[in-house]
Amino acid sequence: MIRNSRTSCKVFAPASVANVSVGFDILGFSVPVLGDEIMVEKTGSGVEIVSITGVVSDLPMDPKDNTAGTALLKMCEELGLDHGFKITNKGNIFSFRSTHNY
């Protein structure tokens, strides 16, 4: 589900399960009742993570160490955007820490 306006976008990413069959990585499915909801809002400049709540709330608040933050930092750099973003993460599944430094 995606909701957006000119200054914000809310996205829900359902949890998924892979490797369901024996011996082959060919079957997977999503779990639509579990997932992460990310709200991204346009701001003056930079990328800021406002809050992270849910199952795992100790994820990095520094955008350079957070997968959502890293993606937005790279997008701003590549597109030469003159504005920034703030991120709110409401997670119901485990998320990953970024291993890239941009």
* Residue 31 lies inside a defined structural domain of this protein: yes
Q: Residue 61 above 90 pLDDT?
A: yes
Compare 42 and 99 and report the one with higher pLDDT.
Answer: 42
| Residue span of the structural domain in which 83 resides | 2-91
Write the CATH number for 27.
Answer: 3.30.230.10
pLDDT at 102: 44
Q: What share of the chain is helix, strand, coil (3-state, %, to 5)?
A: 15, 45, 40
State the pLDDT at residue 20: 67
What is the per-residue pLDDT for 25?
A: 66
Report the distance separating Cα 35 and Cα 94, nearest Å.
Answer: 9
48 within some domain: yes
Please say if the pLDDT value at position 21 is more than 60. yes
Residue 8 lies in a domain: yes
Average pLDDT over residues 27-40: 83
- Asked if residue 78 is part of any domain, the answer here is yes
Mean pLDDT to the nearest integer, 93-100: 52
For the chain, what percent of residues have pLDDT higher than 90?
A: 39
In a domain, 100, yes or no: no
Residue 36 lies in a domain: yes
Q: How many domains does the chain have?
A: 1
For residue 71, being part of any structural domain is answered with yes
Better-scored residue on pLDDT, 2 or 18: 18
